[in-house]
């Protein structure tokens, strides 16, 4: 069914899945101390020449560089130090590596653990560090930083300065003050409409509207009463406020903080605008002869307004640079030259490093909710163990041969995790081949030659999501094998060991204390809040108007002003109320639901899968997705490996429209995943476009319909 195809593309055909090699390496960035970092990358020894030194920001120096080699693999170590600032959210790490990409895991000192896949560009592998080293700020720190941002953008005041000069030319203090208050009220109204999700213009165009209003006023020869401009002032003020709200909405803060920032910006601009206008009018009444200001200053300001309008249009609109507040701060990086690929020396063999240079190779793969013990063996030693003297293994003998081997393997391996004995939930025995992408299953059965055949044995165990330690007692030593190398692999890297008859305990301890992925939870509906203080002051203002107490203009103005200033604060939650109201908030809900959907299949038991899936999917789609994925998993488990979703990124939400109890949109996203098989990790990244319906059920968001419009594999 098309509705469930999004879950299947990561699984794909096993033959092609295990036969390819996308050239993606595992790497990890470890924060040893503040300003002290260790970057490690694991690479086959024949590809070592493709790895250049990482490029950190200029304030860092490379203090140590080393390498360790084991079983054809090299781990390169780079230690970087800074005597000033540690890595932060503005930094950019560049890896000048001649490979297709890297799966980077970042370990923070506080125990935070994150992983993401990055692909190579023409300039190398670029890794923005914002998502790894993002500092959680208090409201006070956010507000302080925002005030600094406003103060540093003095050029944004130019349209208001010109407008104030033109207003002052009419020399009416009361009318100018009323004009400023109406402009302020229009801007403040944008807080309400912005919170309700009504779109606003770009702030750039809103600035141009302020300049256009200034030009419009300057075009009048004489305006006896500025009240005729109150309506345009309210409209332009609202559009400017809506543009400001639109600009601020892209900041990664909660809605309540965005409202506070919008209010601060509104008060900042309007306070300066009003005070400057009042100052000019009072100064002109004292220092300048009446009539001179209105006849010269008005037209002079009109000329400057026109000039600034054209300047903004040329530098911003024509060039497409619309980030007025410069919210997308630049990253810190160093310049570098990408190294040229180096030619392999001494006619080195470029075949897979997984070629069998030893009689047997063991693997332990540790994933969330799953542990796999695998071993790759040459057929020669296995046939000797079973006292078989033939030079080949006939087709009719292969099934019994594999059954005997896997039963012997199960009885010879004892596995415990966190001091609990484990028993395999699945076991596999297959004839395999080696290629550039590692181990592949035989597509068709053939007569296996004794000196060429390879057998792969796999045991799969269900576990908790996060294990502290694993211990394997290994007693599987076929004829002629007294020791064998082992490789432990987890999401962030590998470790090498040697197992022997004398030292047969294979132990692993988890270096991290928290899961790579957050716990799957319902995406609860956020209660909308009623700004009760703001409403109380509005009611007071309404009473003043109803009683026709127009003589109490000061009281009315104070009530309206207080209502505006208290709007973001003192809110009472609405039971059962719901939002999001902006596209960014809807996108956050969508991304969270899709992530939950994919990660529901991390667990082994069908009942657990169904329960986890029901947290994010509802209706017929729940059963469709569950059943379709079960079919895919049957195909997948023929290889003894499970596909795992590593990262999901929502790219866009187009054609957004309101539906009953929810929203419908054309959502586009990418999902990257990986499959580990006999020590080799295979990566996949797919892009999807789907018509998706989100609705509210029992106070939580659910995906209730999904129609796939397009899907494509990126690699």
Q: What architecture (CATH level 2) is domain 2-11+577-713?
A: Roll (3.10)
**Can you tell me the distance from the alpha carbon of 360 to that of 369, in angstroms, rounded to the nearest whole number?**
27
Q: How far is CA 310 from CA 156, 172, 314, in A?
A: 15, 29, 6
Q: Helices 203-218 and 158-168 meet at what angle, rounded to 10?
A: 20
- Chunked into runs of 10 residues, the chain (715 residues) has average pLDDT values of 44 38 80 91 87 92 88 87 86 90 86 83 87 73 78 75 76 76 82 75 79 78 66 85 80 75 81 80 63 54 58 51 51 43 34 61 88 91 88 90 92 92 91 77 86 90 86 92 88 84 92 71 65 56 53 58 61 51 76 86 80 83 71 47 77 84 87 79 84 84 87 81
Token couple for 453: 């055949």
pLDDT of residue 14: 34
CA proximity to 124, closest of 340, 342, 338, 341 = 338
- Delimiting residues of CATH 3.10.450 domain(s) in the chain: 2-11+577-713
pTM over 0.75: no
Nearest Cα to Cα of residue 435 among 350, 374, 351: 351
3-state secondary structure (DSSP) of residue 602? helix
Provide the pLDDT for residue 54.
93
Strands 438-441 and 448-449: unpaired
Angle between helices 298-312 and 203-218 (to 10 degrees): 150
Indicate the helix (H) or strand (E) that contains 650.
Answer: strand 644-659
Q: Where would I find the H helices in 467-582?
A: 532-546, 553-565
- Contacts of 188 by beta carbon, 8 Å cutoff, 6+ apart: 241, 263, 266, 564, 567
Q: Which long-range contacts (CB under 8 A, 24 or more apart) does 47-51 make?
A: 47/99, 48/74, 48/76, 49/341, 49/342, 49/344, 50/97, 50/98, 50/99, 50/341, 50/342, 51/76, 51/97, 51/98, 51/99
CA pair distance 338, 325, nearest whole angstrom: 34
pLDDT attached to residue 77:
93
- How many other CB atoms sit within 10 Å of the CB of residue 420? 10
pLDDT at 11: 39
Token pair of 240 as six digits: 């400017």
pLDDT of res. 37:
93
HSE (side-chain half, CA atoms, 13 Å) at 418: 9
Q: Which residues pair with 665 in a beta bridge?
A: 692
pLDDT attached to residue 302:
58
- Those residues whose C-beta lies under 8 Å from the C-beta of residue 482, and which sit 6 or more positions away, are 500, 501
């Amino acid at each position: 069914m098309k509705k469930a195809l999004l879950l299947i593309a990561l699984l794909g055909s096993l033959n092609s899945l295990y036969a390819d090699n996308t050239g993606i390496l595992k790497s990890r960035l470890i924060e040893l101390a503040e300003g002290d970092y260790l970057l490690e990358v694991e690479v086959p020894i024949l590809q070592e020449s493709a790895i250049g030194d990482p490029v950190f920001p200029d304030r860092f120096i490379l203090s140590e560089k080393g390498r360790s080699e084991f079983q054809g693999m090299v781990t390169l170590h780079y230690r970087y130090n800074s005597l000033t600032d540690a890595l932060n959210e503005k930094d950019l790490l560049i890896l000048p590596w001649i490979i297709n990409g890297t799966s980077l895991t970042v370990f923070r000192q506080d125990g935070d653990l994150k992983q993401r896949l990055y692909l190579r560009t023409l300039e190398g592998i670029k890794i923005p560090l914002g998502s790894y080293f993002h500092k959680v700020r208090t409201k006070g720190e956010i507000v302080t930083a925002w005030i600094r941002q406003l103060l540093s953008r003095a050029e944004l005041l130019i349209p208001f300065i010109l407008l104030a000069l033109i207003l002052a030319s009419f020399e009416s203090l009361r009318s100018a003050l009323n004009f400023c208050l109406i402009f302020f009220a229009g801007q403040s109204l944008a807080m309400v409409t912005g919170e309700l999700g009504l779109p606003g213009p770009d702030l750039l165009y809103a600035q141009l509207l302020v300049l256009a209003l200034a030009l419009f006023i300057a075009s009048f020869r004489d305006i006896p009463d500025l009240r005729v401009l109150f309506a345009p002032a309210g409209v332009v003020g609202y559009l400017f406020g809506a543009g400001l709200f639109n600009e601020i909405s892209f900041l990664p803060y909660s809605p309540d903080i965005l409202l506070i920032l919008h209010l601060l910006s509104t008060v900042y601009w309007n306070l300066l605008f009003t005070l400057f206008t009042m100052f000019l009018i009072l100064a002109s009444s004292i220092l300048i002869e009446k009539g001179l200001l209105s006849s010269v200053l008005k037209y002079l300001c009109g000329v400057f307004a026109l000039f600034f309008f054209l300047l903004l249009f040329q530098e911003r609109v024509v060039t497409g640079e619309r980030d007025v507040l410069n919210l997308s701060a630049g990253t810190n990086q160093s310049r570098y030259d990408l190294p040229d690929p180096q030619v392999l020396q001494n006619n080195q063999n470029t075949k897979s490093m997984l070629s069998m240079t030893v009689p047997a190779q063991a693997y332990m793969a540790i994933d969330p909710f799953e542990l796999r013990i695998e071993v790759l063996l040459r057929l020669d030693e296995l046939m000797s163990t079973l006292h078989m003297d033939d030079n080949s293994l006939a087709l009719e003998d292969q099934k019994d041969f594999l059954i005997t081997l896997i039963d012997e393997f199960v009885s010879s391996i004892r596995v415990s995790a966190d001091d609990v004995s484990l028993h395999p939930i699945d076991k596999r025995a297959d004839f395999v081949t080696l290629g550039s992408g590692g181990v592949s299953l035989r597509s068709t059965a053939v007569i296996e030659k004794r000196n060429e055949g390879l057998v792969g044995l796999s045991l799969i165990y269900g576990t908790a999501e996060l294990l502290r330690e694993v211990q394997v007692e290994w007693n599987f030593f076929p004829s002629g094998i007294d020791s064998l190398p082992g490789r432990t692999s987890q999401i962030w890297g590998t470790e090498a060991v040697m197992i022997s008859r004398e030292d047969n305990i294979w132990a692993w301890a988890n270096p991290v204390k928290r899961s790579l992925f957050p716990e799957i939870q319902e995406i609860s509906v956020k209660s909308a809040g009623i700004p009760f203080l703001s409403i109380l002051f509005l009611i007071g203002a309404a009473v003043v108007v109803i009683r026709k107490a127009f003589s109490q203009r000061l009281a009315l103005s104070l009530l309206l002003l207080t209502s505006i200033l208290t709007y973001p604060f003192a809110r009472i939650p609405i039971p059962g109320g719901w939002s999001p109201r902006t596209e960014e908030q809807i996108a956050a809900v969508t991304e969270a639901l899709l992530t939950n959907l994919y990660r529901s299949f991390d667990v082994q038991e069908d009942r657990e899968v169904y329960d986890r899936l029901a947290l994010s999917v509802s209706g017929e789609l729940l059963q469709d997705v569950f059943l379709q994925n079960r079919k895919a998993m049957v195909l997948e488990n023929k290889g003894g490996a499970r596909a795992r979703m590593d990262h999901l990124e929502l790219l866009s939400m187009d054609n957004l429209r309101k539906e009953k109890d929810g929203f419908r949109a054309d959502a586009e996203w990418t999902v990257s995943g990986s499959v580990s098989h006999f020590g080799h990790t295979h990566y996949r990244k797919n892009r999807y476009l789907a018509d998706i319906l989100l609705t509210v059920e029992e106070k939580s968001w659910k995906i209730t319909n999904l129609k796939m419009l397009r899907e494509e594999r990126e690699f």
